[in-house]
Structure 1
Amino acid sequence: MDKNNIIYQLTGPYQYKQEIKKSIFLAHAIPVVSEDQVHEWLHKLRVSEATHNCWAYRIGQKYRSDDDGEPSGTAGRPILQVIEKQNFDQVLILVIRWFGGIKLGAGGLIRAYGGTAAQCLRQAPCAEYIPQKTASILCSFSDHALLKARITEYDAQIIAEEFGAEVEMKITVPEDAYNALYDRVLDLTRGQAVVIEAD
C-alpha cells in the first residue's frame, strides 16, 4: 500500500518541548474522537500564565485552528498543516509558548509552531488508523457463546454486554469487515439474531 494513503492515529498522548531564541515551546499531541473531547483537553492543558496557547485539531472532516493572539496564520494554521502533512486523524495538538523576549517575526513563528508540532507528532506513539463501525448484536443466551467466539474473526471488539431477556453485545468492527460480520451473525443464528448499526 502507498504510504501516503495510510492515515495514522495516536495510541496515547505525547509532549515535546524545545527552546527557540529564549522562548519555550511545549507541544501536546492528544488522541481525540469528538469536539467535546477537544474542549475538555484544551481546558485541562492550557496554561493561563503562558503567553500563547495555540492549537489545531482534525477529526475526520472537522478541523479548526486558533492562533491565540499570535499574528493571524502564524501558529494555528502551521500546526494544522503538520497534522495534514503527516496524515493524522483524530488528533489535537496544543503548542504553548512562553515568550523569552526576542521577537521571531512571522516566518520565525510559522517555523517555531510548525516545527514544534511536527517534532511532537514524529515522536508520538501511533498506529495505522482503521475506520470502525459501532453496532449492537441482540441474540439469545444459547447463541451468545458461539457469536462471541466467532466475531473475533472479523477483528470485532466487544465494548459492552447487557444481559436481559436476551443478550446485547455492543461491538466495534473495522468498516470494511462490517457486512461480512453481519451476514455471518445471521447465518450462525439462522436469522434469529439482530444486528443494529449505531448512528
Structure 2
Amino acid sequence: MSLTLARPVHSELLIKKSRFLGCVQPVAGRAEAQVVVQALRAEHPGAAHVCWALLAGGQSAANDDGEPGGTAGRPMLEVLRHQQLDGVLATVVRYFGGVKLGAGGLVRAYTDAVAQALLQAEKLPTRRLRSVAVRVPYALEGVIRRELHAAGAVLGEVRHGDVVEIAFEVAEDAAAAVRQRVDDAARGAAEWVDV
C-alpha cells in the first residue's frame, strides 16, 4: 500500500558551509509540483540549486538543477520510493558554502535532507478517488449537496438544466456507500451518470 503525507515538513542541514533546505509535501501531480518548484526559485534567488524529486500517480521525475548528474534528484527519488510514497514532492534548496562536497558527499547531503524531513512527517494511506455524477430534480439539490458533504465527497461542477447534475469525487472505497446514501435521500429520483 502506498502512503502520502498529511502536510509539508521541512529540514535544514549545514554541511561544510553549504546549507541544504529540504521539504517533503503532498502534491496532486507534476503540474502542481512545478508550481511549487518555481515558487521556491523565486523565494530563494540566491540559492545555487533547487533540486527536486516527484512520485505522483505512478509517475516519477527527478531534477538535479545543475548539480553533477545523478547526485541530487535521483537519490531524493530513491528515498521517496524506499518509503513507498505517492503524491509526494521532495525539494532541496542548496546555498553553496564554497567547499565542494564531491559526488558521494552530494548524494549523502541530498538524501539526508529528504530523510530528515520524512522522519518528522505524518504518513497517511493513499486514497484513490472516483469521479461520479448524479442528476436530481431541483427540489432535491440542497438535500443531495448536504448528503455529499456529510459523506466527505468533494463537490465538482454543478450544471443546471432540466434537472441538476452534480459532479463530485469520492474515495473509491466509499463510493458504494455514498451512492446508497444519495439514493436513499433522493427516494428513487437520482439518475447516475458515467464519468
TM-score range, shorter chain: 0.7 to 0.9
Pick one of 5, 8, 18 that aligns with 1:10. 5
Pairs aligned (count): 192
Q: State the 1:169 CA deviation.
A: 3.0
Are residue 30 (structure 1) and residue 19 (structure 2) matched? no
Q: For each residue in 1:139-158, what CA deviation from the matched residue of structure 2 results, as whole angstroms up to 9, or x when unmatched?
A: 123444554565578x4424
Aligned partner of residue 98 in structure 2, secondary structure = coil
Cα separation, partners in 2 of 1:65 and 1:158, compared to 1, 3 Å:
closer
Equivalent residue number for residue 124 of structure 2: 127
Q: Which ranges in structure 1 are unaligned for 5 or more consecutive residues?
A: none
Q: Which ranges in structure 2 are unaligned for 5 or more consecutive residues?
A: none
| Aligned-partner Cα distance in 1 for 2:129–2:167 | 13
Q: State the 1:114 CA deviation.
A: 0.7
| Aligned-partner Cα distance in 2 for 1:194–1:108 | 60
The question of whether the paired residues in 2 share the 8 Å contact of 1:138 and 1:168 is answered with yes
Aligned partner of residue 43 in structure 1, secondary structure = helix
Equivalent residue number for residue 69 of structure 2: 72
Supply the AA of the counterpart residue of 1:169. Answer: I
Cα separation, partners in 2 of 1:158 and 1:104, compared to 1, 3 Å:
closer
| Aligned-partner Cα distance in 1 for 2:11–2:28 | 22
Equivalent residue number for residue 137 of structure 1: 134
Aligned partner of residue 103 in structure 1, secondary structure = coil
Q: State the 1:120 CA deviation.
A: 1.1
Where does 1:22-101 land on structure 2 (aligned, <5 Å)? 22-46=17-41, 47-101=44-98
Q: Tell me how large the CA RMSD over aligned residues is.
A: 2.6
Equivalent residue number for residue 19 of structure 1: 14
- Using structure 2 for the length normalisation, give the TM-score: 0.83
Pick one of 168, 171, 177 that aligns with 2:168. 171
Q: For each residue in 1:83-117, what CA deviation from the matched residue of structure 2 results, as whole angstroms up to 9, or x when unmatched?
A: 11112211111101111122222221111101101
The question of whether the paired residues in 2 share the 8 Å contact of 1:158 and 1:169 is answered with no
Aligned partner of residue 169 in structure 2, secondary structure = strand
Q: State the 1:62 CA deviation.
A: 0.9
| Aligned-partner Cα distance in 2 for 1:150–1:159 | 11
| Aligned-partner Cα distance in 2 for 1:160–1:62 | 25
Q: For each residue in 1:113-136, what CA deviation from the matched residue of structure 2 results, as whole angstroms up to 9, or x when unmatched?
A: 011011112213442221111222
